[in-house]
Amino acid sequence: MPEFVTFSRNVFIPVTNICRNHCGYCTFRRDAGHPEARLMNISEIRQILEKGEKAGCTEALFVFGEYAEEVPEYLLELEKLGYSSTVEYVADLCELAIEIGLLPHTNAGILTQHELEILKPLNISMGLMLETTAELKAHSESPGKAPSTRIEMIRTAGKLQIPFTTGILVGIGETKADRKRSLNVIADMHREFGHIQEVIIQNFMPKPDTPMADHAPPSKEEMIETVSIAREILPDDVAVQVAPNLIDPYILIKAGASDLGGVSPTTIDWINPEAEWPDVIELQRMTKEIELRERLPIYPQHIKKGWYSSNLSDLIETLTDKNGFKRKQQ
């Protein structure tokens, strides 16, 4: 059992849910024209950031549908806000978060090297779920879920020395061998570039009104086994992360998990809106005798390496203790 497990406190901002992919399990995406389709404006986002900062959050998690610019209606809405590309908009949102006192972490789906280079100076870390290296029916209408495309982006982030989050989604039609293969690919990329901070082992949750609504989720036994395999395969300096709003974290900590990801005191999990975040008191109850330690969206080892830009230096100094974790409030 670990001496402690880590978590971060964040605000989850779904900037747009318009997406080119049509994954078989997703209820986040919306088609343009749907009553719930959104492109959040800066005023809305500022309010969320300010509320989060007051609640002690350190991370601004910006999440986007992938390449929404391919949807003409979205591009028109973006242009009304004064932007010609999503990345241009994200960059301004990251600057706003830094101004308010939060460290940006962007997960915008597939990005080119040029786009990553634009966002790197304004993000403390970034992310892209690999999900799986297998070709699955669940991704048959999702060009951005091609395993080779996702691997290429994760490798590019490594070349650019961007602290990075990735992970696998368990129970979407892949096999145990597929999971091992995916984890080995991630491990190999980290050994080459040293940029993977954490690997999420996330359990698929069936959602109503999706093609996979009747697809069974993975059992607890499958999740315990997968976390154990992940801990065996991944290098020691890569955290195994699990989602405490989706599964009992204690059974997975015993199997090798050491991080509980971002939890928010002010925003919901927009990917799994039916699953409420536990608050920090509940989180400590869930982890029983194991100490909870709050971190930033950049891990201590990457702070020590100096893998962040001068744009973020003042915030890092303000928010961290001598060990690179979140400074405790006086």
Whole-angstrom Cα distance, residue 129 to residue 224?
A: 20
* Buried b / exposed e along 281-318 (16+ C-beta atoms within 10 A): eebeebbeebeeebbbbbbbebbeeebbeebbeebbee
Among candidate residues 274, 315, 266, the one with its CA nearest the CA of residue 50: 266
Coil/strand/helix, residue 82: coil
Q: Is residue 94 part of an annotated ligand binding site?
A: no
Q: Is residue 57 part of an annotated ligand binding site?
A: no
Whole-angstrom Cα distance, residue 81 to residue 170?
A: 38
Q: Is residue 23 part of an annotated ligand binding site?
A: yes
Cβ neighbourhood burial of 143 (10 Å; 0-12, 13-18, 19+):
middle
101 phi/psi in degrees, rounded to 5? 115, 20
Q: What is the DSSP string of 47-92?
A: HHHHHHHHTT--EEEEEE-TTGGGSHHHHHHHHHTT-SSHHHHHHH
Max distance between CA atoms of the chain, in angstroms, equals: 53
Q: C-alpha dihedral over 318, 321, 324, 326, to 10 degrees?
A: -70
Q: DSSP class of residue 274?
A: T
Binding-site residues from annotation for [4Fe-4S] cluster: 19, 23, 26
Binding-site residues from annotation: 19, 23, 26
